[in-house]
Structures are given as C-alpha cells and as structure tokens.
Amino acid sequence: MDDLILKINKSQVAQRFAKASQSYDQHAFVQKDICYALIGLMRRFMQYQSLERVFEIGCGSGNLTQLLLQNFKVNQLFLNDIYPEVQQHFQIQQNLDFYIGDIEQITFPEGLDLICSSSALQWVENLDQIFQKANTALNSEGYFCFSTFGLDNLKEIRLLTGQGLDYLALSGIHDKLLQQGFEILYLSEEHKILGFDQPKDILKHLKATGVTATASGHRWTKSSLQQFNQGYQQFLFKDVGNQLKYQLTYHPIYCIARRGV
C-alpha cells in the first residue's frame, strides 16, 4: 500500500489524545523512558539548576513536567497542550499558567530560560516556524531541549496500513535548528523495539496512547484486520527469553540546543 503522508487533523488529534488521557500513563512506557533520558541530558548539559521562566510544549499528563520540577527549581511554568483536559493532571499553583491550543497557532510566552518538549513535536507541520518562535521567545543562551521521533517510528504500521506522520531525519532537524540560529549541544537518535504477543495487542497499545490519531479516516473492518494480522507475520522475532514476539519500532531523537548570545 502506498504511504499516506497525513495532513494532520488537529481537532481529531485533540479528541483522540483526550480520550486516551486516562490510559496513556499506564501504556506510554516508551514515552516515559524518553522523558527520563531527556531530563538526564538536560542535567548534563544545562549550566544552571534554577530557571526563572519555562515553557513546555505538549505537556500531556505531565511525565516530563514532574521530572522537570524534581530536577530544577522553576519559578514560573507555562504548560501547553492542544486539549484542555490535560489540566486535570496538574494541581492549581500560582506559578503555573496553561497555554491551551495548537502550538502552531498560539503566541509563545516571552523571556524564557527554557523551552522543553517530549514526544510532541512530531505532530507539528511547520517545524521551521516552531523553531523560529522558540528562538525569539528564549533569552540569550536560553535552552531548547526536546525529544521527537525519526523516520523509522512505527514503521511496521506505516508499511501495513499506509498511515503515518511525516517524520524528519536527524540531519533534517540538525539543519533546521542551525538555520534558526541555535547552537546544538547534543543531538542523537536510538531505536526501541517492543515485543507483543499478538498484532491486536499492538493496536490496543497504540489506541491507549492516543497514537491512532495518525489514522486519518482509517476504519478497521474484519477483512482489513485479517490482512493486518497476516502482514504482521513478517515482523516476528525472538526476544531475549527466546519467545516469539511481534515487533513495534520507536525511533526517538533527543536534542539539547541553546540560543546564541
């Protein structure tokens, strides 16, 4: 089946992530691992532990937010996500403001020491614009730290259904950051391979994490599910316990960048 590069339906994305908000925490273990890795890099590369003003893009249920507050002193925190239901995951605090809406449409807060984001920027259609807005909103030598996903992300789903986001290669992210005047302190990628007992378990996992928002107008039928199950046989592998599993690939990219003086 030919690949379908999606024109992202942002309202549909919001609806599906809102629907998955209760199950996300339990099933998004890859995204949680990515948050821990990103915070580790931030601790390694950022020169100060106290941050005056911080903006997080795509805060979701707060996995990165919690780690951020545990590892850095933050005086004023601005949280963004596309759907208002995220607010239920956070206690109301004086130093917390929500910027609810499509990150491509809203105005960033100004005078920031840090902009951070984990597993969210792959939903952005015009990444150049976001990088430009980030550079403008940051103080000189302010940090832009994020994770996103690369070309191989969920490649099995893309191959079998033709559905998928328009992911960027590491080199593309590198070039876009330099074009917007960022100094890149760290940029890397890795592949995380998950193993599932059955192909249907993979679909349940994706639904529980809201990732079915990639399926623009895709409707499963008995026939298409059967075809999916048959097609997934090519992705069988033996795990460390020598058990046959069906693989699902995640391809995280990590970046620590800094605005120039």
**pTM for this one?**
0.87
Which uninterrupted H or E stretch holds 79? strand 73-81
- Residues 146, 187, 259, CA angle at the centre, nearest 5°? 65
Question: Count of domains in the chain?
Answer: 1
In a domain, 214, yes or no: no
Q: Report the distance separating Cα 189 and Cα 104, nearest Å.
A: 25
* Residue of 195, 172, 182, 196 whose CA lies nearest to 253: 172
**Would residue 231 count as lying in a domain?**
no
Which CATH number do you get for residue 33?
Answer: 3.40.50.150
* Cα-based distances in Å from 2 to 5, 95, 226: 10, 48, 19
User: Pairing between strand 138-149 and 112-118?
Assistant: parallel
CA 220 to CA 192: how far, in whole Å? 26
Q: What domain range is 126 assigned to?
A: 4-152+166-193+250-259
Q: In this structure, is residue 13 part of a structural domain?
A: yes
Show pLDDT as tens, one digit a residue, over the chain (261 residues): 333 334 455 555 445 444 544 544 555 789 999 999 999 999 999 977 799 999 999 999 899 999 999 999 999 999 999 989 899 889 878 899 999 999 999 999 999 999 999 999 999 999 999 999 999 999 999 999 999 999 999 999 999 988 888 899 999 999 999 999 999 999 999 999 999 999 999 998 888 876 654 555 567 889 989 999 999 999 999 999 999 999 999 999 999 999 987
Does residue 199 fall inside a structural domain? no
* Position 227 in a domain: no
Structural domain includes residue 216: no
Q: Is residue 18 part of a domain?
A: yes
Sign of CA dihedral 41, 47, 49, 52: negative
Look up residue 114 and give its two tokens: 């840090």
77 is a domain residue:
yes
Residue 147's nearest CA partner among 252, 261, 258 is: 252
Q: State the DSSP code for 87.
A: G
Cross-strand bridge partners of residue 151: none
Can you read off the two tokens belonging to residue 38?
């990103």
